[in-house]
């Protein structure tokens, strides 16, 4: 047995669980007993007073590292000492263990035991609520471990009693026509909500990452639950996709594309072939750097071809619909829905908003959902708990309200030929 092991054994046998210099006669007698049992020379060991004091100091530091006083640390200690743990232990055996070490429990030990008992008092309620919300082992790749991670996060909240009481009667998530809402609508303290926003149980059963806010949303509102059949959550009976800060509705970039190789470029080229435009007029349009922006390019093409050159408006719209539909996941029907004879092609802000609507709805079709929730929270960067929820049937009202834009806040937006899916920007009040 090495020196540290001797000191650990000595401390274990002492009533307090540790010793401090100067050592009492009783403490030294216990030490000599430990040394004799291990065939060591007690006098030689004890006579090295300076080294012994340092050893005690070192041992106390090690011992304090081993004394874990948070529930998460206790779980870690338990995992590291499986050989000491009886997983099938019964209640009476626990009481017997406590009676054996009654005189060795210090105040921190008693606090730990108290915390475990208090936690156990609401564990059943929380796990039942988890199950009601489909937060179950089968929903995650880590299984039981995921559920334990989430439960431990709830249990560690300073106001866990308030949160558990809220779970007994959670509020409904109600969204207005402008799509705006906030986690603070739950009525729980902001600090609690911020901690819940970081709850992440690992990948779901399909291998998809569980994003920030998904668990919080399902726990905080009665009409939101986890969804195990695809999608992130379920809201009012329909799948709900959750998107974090600066999310994109599609790929970030389509590579380096110039106007000439787009559907508008082909329209301009066709107009030259049909002698509607001169080469000089076409070059002027194609070389205008403003036309890298899709909204401006469509507006100016309309003004040039339809208004100035009197080309057929219906033909112009059909070509634009096909071109825009091809950009947004080959969804021509959605493009046709928002670009028609009644569209105001002369107003660049209107064109931009129609592109936002097309991008939103075509993306919903692509991922097979009818609603998407966007939030601004990002751990360490943004504590904004507000969000925008867009239902398919409310796309018009939400976009017209200015709640959601794509790219910059400029009137023409940020749809560019080499970036047809700009990041989502929210205006939440």
Which parts of the chain register pLDDT below 50? 48-69
What is the Cα–Cα distance from 215 to 242, expressed in whole angstroms? 11
Do 305 and 213 lie in one domain? The reply is no
- Find the domain containing 280 and state its range: 259-426
The Cα 290–Cα 296 span in angstroms is: 7
Q: Is the domain of 236 the same as that of 314?
A: no
Question: Quick one: 388 and 323 in the same domain?
Answer: yes
* One domain for residues 127 and 236: yes
- Tell me, yes or no, whether 108 and 235 share the same domain: yes
pLDDT in tens, 278-323: 999 999 999 999 999 999 999 999 999 999 999 999 999 999 999 9
Does residue 337 share a domain with residue 306?
Answer: yes
Neighbours of 52 (CB within 10 A): 17
Domain boundary among 184, 210, 243: 243
Distance separating alpha carbons of residues 402 and 316, to the nearest angstrom: 28
pLDDT at res. 375: 95
Residue 184 domain-assigned (yes or no): yes
Examine residue 72 and state whether it is found in any structural domain, yes or no.
no
In a domain, 398, yes or no: yes
Phi-psi map region of 236: left, alpha, beta (phi>0 left; psi -120 to 50 alpha): left
pTM attached to this predicted model: 0.74
In a domain, 84, yes or no: no
For residues 400 and 328, membership in a common domain is answered with: yes
Same domain, 182 and 298: no
CA distance 307 to 183: 49
Residues 198 and 335 in one domain: no
| Boundary-marking domain end, from 50, 67, 84 | 67
32 with 167, same domain? no
Q: Are the beta carbons of 376 and 243 closer than 8 angstroms?
A: no
Whether residue 49 contacts residue 93, with contact meaning beta carbons closer than 8 Å, is answered with no
How many angstroms from the chain centroid is the CA of residue 212?
1
Is residue 168 assigned to a domain?
A: yes
Number of domains comprising the chain:
3
pLDDT at residue 16, rounded to an integer: 64
Residue 373 included in any domain: yes
* CA distances for 142 relative to 217, 329, 344, angstroms: 21, 34, 52
106 and 235 together in one domain: yes
**Domain final residue, candidates 211, 243, 275:** 243
Are 37 and 147 in the same domain?
A: no
> For residue 370, is it within any domain?
yes
């Amino acid at each position: 047995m090495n020196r540290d092991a001797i000191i650990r054994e000595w401390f274990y046998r002492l009533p307090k669980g540790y010793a401090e210099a100067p050592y009492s006669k009783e403490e030294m007698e216990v030490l000599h007993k430990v040394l004799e049992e291990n065939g060591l020379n007690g006098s030689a060991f004890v006579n090295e007073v300076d080294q012994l004091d340092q050893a005690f100091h070192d041992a106390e530091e090690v011992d304090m590292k081993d004394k874990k006083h948070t529930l998460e640390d206790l779980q870690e200690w338990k995992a590291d000492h499986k050989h000491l743990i009886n997983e099938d232990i019964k209640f009476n055996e626990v009481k017997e263990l406590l009676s054996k070490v009654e005189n060795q429990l210090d105040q921190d030990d008693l606090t730990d035991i108290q915390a475990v008992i208090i936690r156990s008092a609401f564990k059943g309620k929380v796990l039942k609520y988890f199950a009601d919300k489909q937060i179950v082992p089968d929903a995650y790749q880590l299984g039981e471990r995921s559920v334990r991670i989430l439960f431990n996060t709830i249990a560690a909240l300073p106001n866990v009693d308030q949160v558990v009481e809220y779970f007994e009667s959670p509020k409904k998530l109600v969204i207005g026509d402008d799509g705006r809402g906030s986690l603070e609508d739950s009525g729980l303290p902001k600090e609690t909500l911020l901690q819940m926003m970081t709850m992440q149980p690992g990948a779901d059963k399909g291998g998809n990452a569980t994003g920030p806010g998904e668990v919080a949303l399902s726990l905080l509102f009665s009409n939101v639950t986890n969804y195990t059949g695809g999608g992130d959550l379920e809201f009012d009976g329909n799948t709900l996709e959750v998107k974090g800060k600066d999310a994109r509705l599609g790929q970030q970039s389509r590579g380096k594309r110039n106007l000439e190789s787009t559907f508008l470029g082909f329209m301009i080229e066709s107009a030259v072939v049909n002698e509607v435009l001169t080469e000089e007029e076409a070059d002027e349009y194609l070389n205008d750097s403003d036309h890298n922006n899709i909204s401006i390019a469509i507006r100016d093409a309309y003004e040039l071809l339809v208004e100035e050159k009197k080309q057929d408006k219906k033909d112009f719209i059909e070509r634009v619909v096909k071109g825009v539909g091809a950009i947004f996941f080959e969804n021509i029907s959605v493009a046709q829905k928002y670009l028609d004879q009644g569209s105001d092609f002369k107003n660049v802000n209107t064109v931009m908003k129609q592109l936002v609507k097309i991008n939103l709805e075509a993306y919903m079709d692509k991922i097979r959902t009818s609603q998407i929730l966007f939030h601004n929270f990002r751990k360490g960067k943004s504590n904004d708990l507000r969000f925008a929820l867009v239902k398919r049937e409310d796309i018009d009202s939400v976009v017209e309200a200015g709640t959601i834009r794509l790219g910059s806040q400029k009137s023409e937006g940020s749809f560019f030929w080499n970036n047809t899916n700009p990041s989502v920007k929210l205006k939440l009040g």
